[in-house]
Amino acid sequence: DTEVTQTPKHLVMGMTNKKSLKCEQHMGHRAMYWYKQKAKKPPELMFVYSYEKLSINESVPSRFSPECPNSSLLNLHLHALQPEDSALYLCASSQDREASGANVLTFGAGSRLTVL
């Protein structure tokens, strides 16, 4: 299995809703990432988990809450989002090359979020 699977593919939510995005990989990768991508822009890093511990939080607002229940799963809990949070949310994983070596990311297809 060489894939990163993200669900749902599309999500529409109101500003008062609570929802979650899910990501799963079975490649034995020990680093997992959440990125946000606006149309026609490069991806922006939000969070990195390394060995199930939060390693990087890029000053993301608290209405986004990541969770890594085990080495294969990554969630992003969403609460009280704003319309400007509408974007493509990409999950990625890698073998964990913090110190050296190429750190190749495998991306999921993304969850397209619309906040009304």
Partner 1 sequence: GEDVEQSLFLSVREGDSSVINCTYTDSSSTYLYWYKQEPGAGLQLLTYIFSNMDMKQDQRLTVLLNKKDKHLSLRIADTQTGDSAIYFCAEPTMDSNYQLIWGAGTKLIIKP
Structure tokens at 17: 């809703």
Structure tokens at 5: 């699977």
Task: Classify residue 51 by burial, with Cβ atoms within 10 Å: 0-12, 13-18, 19+.
Answer: exposed
Would you count residue 50 as binding partner 1 (CB under 8 A)? yes
Which among 14-22, 68-76, 79-87, 92-100 is the span making contact with partner 1, rule CB under 8 A? 92-100
Would you count residue 45 as binding partner 1 (CB under 8 A)? yes
Would you count residue 68 as binding partner 1 (CB under 8 A)? no
48-51: Cβ within 8 A, 24+ apart: 49/74, 50/96, 50/98, 51/96
Which among 13-21, 62-70, 74-82, 91-99 is the span making contact with partner 1, rule CB under 8 A? 91-99
Would you count residue 97 as binding partner 1 (CB under 8 A)? yes
b/e per residue 55-85 (b: at least 16 CB within 10 A): eeeeebeeebebebeebbebbbebeebeeeb
CB of 81 to partner 1, least distance (A): 21
Which among 13-21, 44-52, 64-72, 74-82 is the span making contact with partner 1, rule CB under 8 A? 44-52
Q: Which residues bind partner 1 (CB under 8 A)?
A: 4, 6, 31, 33, 40-43, 45, 48, 50, 55-56, 90, 92, 97-110
